[in-house]
Amino acid sequence: MIQSYRGVRIQRRAPIRLYPFERFFRGFATAPPILELFGKNAGKILGGLKVEFFSPPFGYMGTSDIDGHLIVSSHHLKTSDLRTLYLDVVHELCHVKQFRAGRALFDRKRKYVDTPTEVEAYAFTVKEGRRIGMTNPQLFEYLKVEWVDAKDLRRLGRRLGVLGTGRPARGHRRRSPPTRARRRR
Ligand SMILES: [Zn+2]
């Protein structure tokens, strides 16, 4: 679809490169949390899942609320520690399940930390974090992302039962904000 404007023409449709999820993330279909999420359909669902990458050094991962594919920062993929990547994928696959169930992933009326789909995905991820031996301080650290301020972070931490110390949090990194505008979440 080419449109003209003041003597220039712009092709409004650009290709988006989607890759098979399992080309980059292998073995998740038999990982305990993913079997819990998708049951016997895990292999089929992950086999059909697609992933899109973006390159700027911000953002982490997100799930498209248009068609449920994953959106991953190639910078995050390259530089973050493996445990974080593992937990982020678990978190996003939780959103994939929510999307497949027809739930709205984003709720503009609520804050990120209060969105039911986020609280659920974080709770599931925290459960997995505990299963693999993470402590509350490690889990609280994992919850930190730039777009959540210290007060909201503490609320999320308390809600998830990982906040024991009451230490104020300094924000930094992670899980993609909703990808629609990829301001991310
Ligand atoms: Zn999320």
Q: What is the pLDDT of residue 52?
A: 97
Q: What is the pLDDT of residue 151?
A: 95
Residue 138 C-alpha to ligand 1 middle, in angstroms? Answer: 18
Residue 77 C-alpha to ligand 1 middle, in angstroms? Answer: 17
**String of DSSP letters for the chain:** -EEEETTEEEE-------EEHHHHS-SGGGSHHHHHHHGGGHHHHHHH-EEEEE-SS---EEE-TTT--EEEEHHHHHHS-HHHHHHHHHHHHHHHHHHHTT--S--TTS-GGG-HHHHHHHHHHHHHHHHTT--HHHHHHHH--TTS-HHHHHHHHHHTT---S-PPPPP---S---TTTTS--
Is 0.95 topped by the overall pTM? Answer: no
How far apart are the C-alpha atoms of 140 and 126, rounded to whole Å? Answer: 9
How many residues does this entry show for the chain? 185
Residue 61 C-alpha to ligand 1 middle, in angstroms? Answer: 8
Q: What is the pLDDT of residue 107?
A: 83
How far apart are the C-alpha atoms of 148 and 110, rounded to whole Å? Answer: 13
Is 159:119 a contact under the CB 8 Å cutoff? yes
Q: What is the pLDDT of residue 184?
A: 41
Q: What is the pLDDT of residue 179?
A: 47
How far apart are the C-alpha atoms of 105 and 180, rounded to whole Å? Answer: 10
Q: What is the pLDDT of residue 176?
A: 56
Is 121:160 a contact under the CB 8 Å cutoff? no
Q: Taking the chain (185 residues) in consecutive chunks of 10 residues, what is each chunk's mean pLDDT?
A: 96 95 98 98 98 88 94 95 97 97 89 93 98 97 93 95 65 51 40
Residue 176 C-alpha to ligand 1 middle, in angstroms? Answer: 7
Q: What is the pLDDT of residue 174?
A: 55
Note the pLDDT tens digit of each residue in 59-107: 899 999 999 999 999 999 999 999 999 999 999 999 999 999 999 888 8
Residue 73 C-alpha to ligand 1 middle, in angstroms? Answer: 14
User: Which tokens belong to 22?
Assistant: 């399992």
Residue 146 C-alpha to ligand 1 middle, in angstroms? Answer: 14
